[in-house]
Amino acid sequence: MIPGLGALTQDTLWCFSQLKGTVEIGATEADIISTVEFNHTGELLATGDKGGRVVIFQREQESKNQVHRRGEYNVYSTFQSHEPEFDYLKSLEIEEKINKIRWLPQQNAAYFLLSTNDKTVKLWKVSERDKRPEGYNLKDEEGRLRDPATITTLRVPVLRPMDLMVEATPRRVFANAHTYHINSISVNSDYETYMSADDLRINLWNFEITNQSFNIVDIKPANMEELTEVITAAEFHPHHCNTFVYSSSKGTIRLCDMRASALCDRHTKFFEEPEDPSNRSFFSEIISSISDVKFSHSGRCIMTRDYLTVKVWDLNMENRPVETYQVHDYLRSKLCSLYENDCIFDKFECVWNGSDSVIMTGSYNNFFRMFDRNTKRDVTLEASRENSKPRAILKPRKVCVGGKRRKDEISVDSLDFSKKILHTAWHPSENIIAVAATNNLYIFQDKVN
């Protein structure tokens, strides 16, 4: 697939590919997917859930015989990454929910990923084992020790093929460095360090060292009563290993350069859009809170998601975004109800496609939205079981905001706010997307002609 064909031209149609997850009846809260991430080649797709489990899917090799069936994702490995804990000193439960998964670039046969809950980051190694040593001298085939007196000859153990086994082992545990809840992890382009961010602090880690981290951002006030702003997301620049950004609950983004000082409390750049006075309300600050920030693959732009919009910022322009896309502006008149039922605090993520030409984010009613930056066209699609026939083309959806409702439109008051698409992922180079809808994972691909 050539990057750039991600544009939403007339020819791009999205089709259902696969549906992973439990059936509705057996679903528990632990099955709710909390993060989705493709690895750097797109060969692997990882999900984390509220129960602390990680499931990794692997794309099968494309078969020349079945041209219409592009590589499907099948379960490759499942493991329990985090367990629930209890902090006895503070009488607080620590959730096992996986907040984020980030892959490391592949450097040998094994795969490495970072997974984190609210307090602890872990480095997992996922490797294959397809051979088994046989012919030990001191053990028999079942592993029982042999009586040395019965051994009359010596032999060299040999490796024999066995059924493929994928095992995940925790290689590092980075614990006890965060007082507040970790919301982001980001692998540095030097592949030697990564950062973890909580509500008030950001720490820099070396992958080899687990008992120490550098604190690079600290916005905790001396008096907690003066606290008015928290860190909501953070990410390293894709190419410059000294640069990172972090977003805040007040709708600001700060870009920092680690070469400037050890503690990056003073930013190099500060991105903030002046408030529109005509839209001012009691909820202005809450809806301006940034829930996700992502660098473009090129490293020239950042994308931010707040409650109602997605914005694209040019790193060279701090006073306003270069592009603003309305995700679900029809909710603006419903903010009071959304505040009451807590939906206004939902944290939606946003993603770039491989060529940075299309951006995607989720909404309610299992809707998700795509915006083409070049053609300025946008589309609303739905992840639903009704559209789950193989290669079924997804029909664009439309929300009716008032007046006469057309036959296939849905009115704002009929939207199901319990069905929210918070987590999505886009394959690094192809038009394959993974959309998490509560406890189900939908995989969509563009139509193969």
Instruction: Name the site residues for another protein (rule: CB under 8 A).
Output: 87, 89-95, 118, 175-177, 179-181, 199-200, 203, 211-215, 218, 222-225, 227-230, 232, 249, 262-263, 280-283, 285-286, 289, 333-342, 345, 413-418
Closest approach, Cβ 271 to another protein, in A, equals 19
When the beta carbons of 41 and 333 are compared against another protein, the nearer one is 333
When the beta carbons of 80 and 179 are compared against another protein, the nearer one is 179
When the beta carbons of 56 and 245 are compared against another protein, the nearer one is 245
Closest approach, Cβ 230 to another protein, in A, equals 5
Give the phi and the psi of residue 164 in degrees, each rounded to 5.
-60, 130
Residues contacting 310, CB < 8 A, separation 6+: 303, 304, 324, 325, 327, 350, 359, 361, 371
Closest approach, Cβ 254 to another protein, in A, equals 16
When the beta carbons of 164 and 263 are compared against another protein, the nearer one is 263
Computed from CA positions of residues 322, 327, 329, 334, in that sequence, does the dihedral angle turn out positive or negative? Answer: negative
CA nearest to 253, candidates 218, 300, 291, 209: 291
Closest approach, Cβ 421 to another protein, in A, equals 16
Residues contacting 416, CB < 8 A, separation 6+: 364, 365, 366
**Pair 281, 297: CB distance under 8 Å:** no
When the beta carbons of 167 and 192 are compared against another protein, the nearer one is 192
**Pair 180, 232: CB distance under 8 Å:** no
CA nearest to 101, candidates 51, 37, 42, 53: 37
When the beta carbons of 227 and 322 are compared against another protein, the nearer one is 227
When the beta carbons of 92 and 162 are compared against another protein, the nearer one is 92
When the beta carbons of 79 and 214 are compared against another protein, the nearer one is 214
Helix (H, G, I), strand (E, B) or coil at 40: coil
Closest approach, Cβ 121 to another protein, in A, equals 12
Closest approach, Cβ 337 to another protein, in A, equals 4
Measure the CA–CA gap between 82 and 347, rounded to whole angstroms.
22
Closest approach, Cβ 184 to another protein, in A, equals 12
Helix (H, G, I), strand (E, B) or coil at 436: strand
When the beta carbons of 118 and 349 are compared against another protein, the nearer one is 118
Closest approach, Cβ 261 to another protein, in A, equals 9
Measure the CA–CA gap between 244 and 390, rounded to whole angstroms.
41
Closest approach, Cβ 325 to another protein, in A, equals 23
Computed from CA positions of residues 87, 112, 247, 203, in that sequence, does the dihedral angle turn out positive or negative? Answer: positive
Residues contacting 406, CB < 8 A, separation 6+: 398, 400
Both tokens assigned to 201? 């602090």
* Burial of 123: CB neighbours in 10 Å, binned 0-12, 13-18, 19+: buried
When the beta carbons of 370 and 415 are compared against another protein, the nearer one is 415
Strand partners, 433: 426, 444
Closest approach, Cβ 203 to another protein, in A, equals 8
Between strands 201-206 and 193-197, the pairing is antiparallel
When the beta carbons of 158 and 262 are compared against another protein, the nearer one is 262
Closest approach, Cβ 401 to another protein, in A, equals 13
Burial string for 80-94 (b: 16+ CB within 10 Å, else e) reads ebbeebeeeeeeeeb
Q: What is the DSSP letter of 366?
A: T
**Pair 186, 236: CB distance under 8 Å:** yes
